[in-house]
A and B are shown apart, each in its own frame.
Chain A
Amino acid sequence: MNVERLRELAISDTGFVFDPYSGFTFSVNETGRFMLQALKAGHAAEAVAAQLAEAFDLTPSDDPSRDVHEFILMLREQQLLPHDDDREG
């Protein structure tokens, strides 16, 4: 996964995200911030899902794996990940 753009993001503790390339700003929640940091560090989707399961208190209906894939989709939508990127891996 090409995480070049993610590396440029300024991510604050409050969940405020500034993309200096585009000038866009975003809000992420705790899990969103966690995923951003983990993806930025180059971890693959399944690894990020496993880390989430470690770090957060899950209920049976939670599915971090589904959510990571959806989050990657959202990042693509915002052009923070390239569209033609290889499958996460």
Chain B
Amino acid sequence: MIRPRYERPTLIRHVAGMMNKYARVGALKPLSHVDGVPVARLVEQFGSPLFVFSERTIVQRQHELKDALALRFPRSQLAWSYKTNYLDAVCRVFHREGSWAEVVSELEFDKARRLGVPGEQILFNGPFKPESALDKAFSAGARVHLDHFDEILRAERVAERRGLHPKVTMRVNLAVPGTPAWSRFGFNLENGQALDAAKRLRAGGRLELAGLHCHIGTFVQDVDSYRQEAKKLALLANQLQRELGVRVDTIDLGGGLASRNTLHAQYLPGDQVTPSLAQYVEAIAEGLEALDAGAAPPTIVLESGRALIDEAGFLVTTVHATKRLPDGRRALVLDAGVNALVTANWYKHDVVPAQDFAGMPEPTVMYGPLCMNIDVLRDQLLFPPVAPGDRLVFKNVGAYNVTQWMQFIVERPAVVLVSRSGEPAVIRRRESLDTLVSQEELPPWLR
């Protein structure tokens, strides 16, 4: 006799406005493999929770953006945003495919150099560059993006000491209607600060202004914002040429391109809202049409991080327990929490079971393992019944998690990269008690 498969029982009261059995179930398909490698095998081999990256997806996304740029611009360059994900292996994949490094601290600069990135292929950005950092950058031939007047002075001092006349890029902030002001970095365009800075650089005679850089925001879903940004930068470049005789060889439009994630304050999911990489590039190209036809066209640089890596990252987690809350919701206790998945604070992360499932989806809240009220990975979603030991996969977690994660209460999980031929390898080991205490000291009187 064939017996029906057992499912955990559900009893769902029909509530007005919630009477749609297709509200979730159709979308939910198990993700049992990452690039052909069974999730179950990954957990068996490397433990749970586990971050898994797909090299194939990283390469493919990067090519998509590179191709879109190459189609529109005679000269273009990607610079991998280190802070988005600076694991050596991930950076190496980007560099192998031709990306430069975009770093925002001395630590990141050193990490890029250690990985063998030539100085000339490093863009050094950010508001905090001590003299030691500027010294390294100029000596290595990196392109420094100047952020404020104090930095111009500091950079001039360093360059003079070294007897160098380095090319520099000026970071500009500008108003794009519809996106929140991003005015804390760089020199403001609208109030004339950027032009003043350009004049100041010329008067200083030590640093050669050769590039413009702007970054309009983060998770920008409206390509029109890039059109406006590009146009304003183009007009500034024209003005610099016309009024100061400064010719920029680089226009860097920063990053901020959205991934397929869905922000908490977003109604339609990312797959319907987020523009394609080609659409972003198209808008940038339209904006840059405002550039005066002159000598050699500048190199167009993008420092996109999230849009290239988010889809390549997965977080595999295991159901530790299930419980029923007094309000009727099902609660899951997972072995990964906000300590590992920082971006749960920003997104309604797409999460699916890693194995076949059955049963009616019901309102579910997903908690992590921390004994902290804030440890919530999804506060409300319709999810089918699962049991302890079942695996879940959070999708689109490649950006910012393995840099912003923290060691808190539990150790940070391992990270695995699945090669293009489908071979998994550890790229960061799971932490241990030794990792935790390796930086600690007991002072003599407490020994």
Q: Are A29 and B359 in contact (CB under 8 A)?
A: yes
> Is B13 interfacial (CB 8 A cutoff)?
yes
B271 to chain A, nearest CB (A): 28
Please indicate the chain B residues that have their CB under 8 angstroms from the CB of A24 in the complex: 13-14
Interface size of A by CB at 8 A reads: 31
Cβ–Cβ contact A62 & B387, under 8 A: yes
Main secondary structure of the interface of B (DSSP, over half): loop
Q: How many A-B residue pairs have CB under 8 A?
A: 75
Given A61-B389, A61-B390, A73-B324, answer yes or no on A32-B3 (Cβ-Cβ < 8 Å).
Answer: no
CB atoms of A28 and B9 under 8 A apart = yes
Cα of A17 to Cα of B9 in the assembled complex, Å? 14
Interface centre among B2, B10, B388 (most CB of A within 10 A): B10
Minimum CB–CB distance from B273 to chain A (whole Å) comes to 31
In the bound assembly, the distance between CA atoms of A78 and B326 in angstroms comes to 11
Is the CB of B116 closer than 8 A to any CB of chain A? no
The one of A17, A25, A27, A31 in contact with B8, judged by C-beta atoms closer than 8 angstroms, is A31
Size class of the B contact interface (CB-based, 8 Å): 20 to 34
Contacts of B5 in A (CB 8 A): 56-57
A77 within 8 A of B: yes
Interface string of B336-364 (1 = CB under 8 A from A): 00000000000000000000000110000
Smallest Cβ distance from B425 to chain A, in angstroms? 30
Instruction: Tell whether, in the assembled complex, residue A59 and residue B6 are in contact, meaning their CB atoms are under 8 Å apart.
Output: yes
Distance (whole angstroms) from the CB of A61 to the closest CB of chain B: 4
Select from chain A the residue with minimum beta-carbon distance to B8.
Answer: A67
Q: Which of B6, B21, B360 contacts A52 (CB 8 A)?
A: B6
Set of chain A residues within 8 Å of B192, measured between Cβ atoms: none
Q: Are A78 and B9 in contact (CB under 8 A)?
A: no
Chain A residues positioned under 8 Å from B9 (CB to CB):
28-29, 31-32, 34-35, 67-68, 70-71, 74
Q: Which of B1-39 contact A (CB under 8 A)?
A: 2-14, 21
Residues of B within 8 A of A27 (CB): 10-12, 14, 21, 360
Top-9 shortest CB links A-B: A56-B6, A32-B9, A57-B3, A31-B9, A61-B387, A25-B14, A71-B9, A58-B6, A74-B11
| 8 residue pairs bridging A and B, Cβ less than 8 Å apart | A27-B21, A28-B11, A29-B10, A56-B6, A57-B5, A62-B6, A67-B8, A74-B324
> Chain B interface (Cβ within 8 Å of chain A)?
2-14, 21, 324, 326, 328, 359-360, 387-390
